[in-house]
């Protein structure tokens, strides 16, 4: 119950503060928005590079994966042939 009361008090004081100090609020907001855009853009760029690196890693291992798949299939076939040759 105390959290609800504290939250309501903070909400009311925040609204009063924005109404009373509207112009300074807008000045601060105008200064913060470019910083948020720069940081958000940098983060998106980092994730884009990271995703490209992951994609290249998958492409490098894909032929190896196919080679292992062929080897596994060959070994399975050999095991099947050996089981078929065993006397019952």
pLDDT digits (tens, 9 = 90+) for 11-47: 999 999 999 999 999 999 999 999 999 999 999 999 8
Of the pLDDT bands very low, low, confident and very high (cuts 50, 70, 90), residue 68 is confident
pLDDT interval class at 60 (50, 70, 90) = low
Averaged pLDDT of the chain = 87
More confident residue, 33 or 58: 33
Q: What is the mean pLDDT of residues 51-72?
A: 74
Question: Contacts for 67-76 with beta carbons within 8 Å, 24 or more apart?
Answer: none
CB atoms within 10 A of CB 66: 10
With beta carbons less than 8 A apart as the criterion, state whether 26 and 19 touch: no
Whole-angstrom distance, CA of residue 27 vs CA of residue 61: 52
């Amino acid at each position: 119950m105390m959290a609800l009361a504290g939250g309501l008090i903070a909400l009311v004081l925040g609204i009063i503060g924005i109404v009373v100090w509207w112009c300074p609020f807008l000045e601060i907001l105008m200064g913060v928005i470019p910083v948020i855009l720069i940081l958000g853009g940098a983060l998106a760029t980092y994730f884009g590079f990271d995703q490209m690196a992951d994609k290249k890693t998958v492409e490098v291992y894909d032929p190896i994966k196919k080679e292992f798949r062929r080897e596994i299939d060959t070994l399975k076939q050999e095991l099947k042939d050996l089981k078929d040759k065993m006397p019952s």
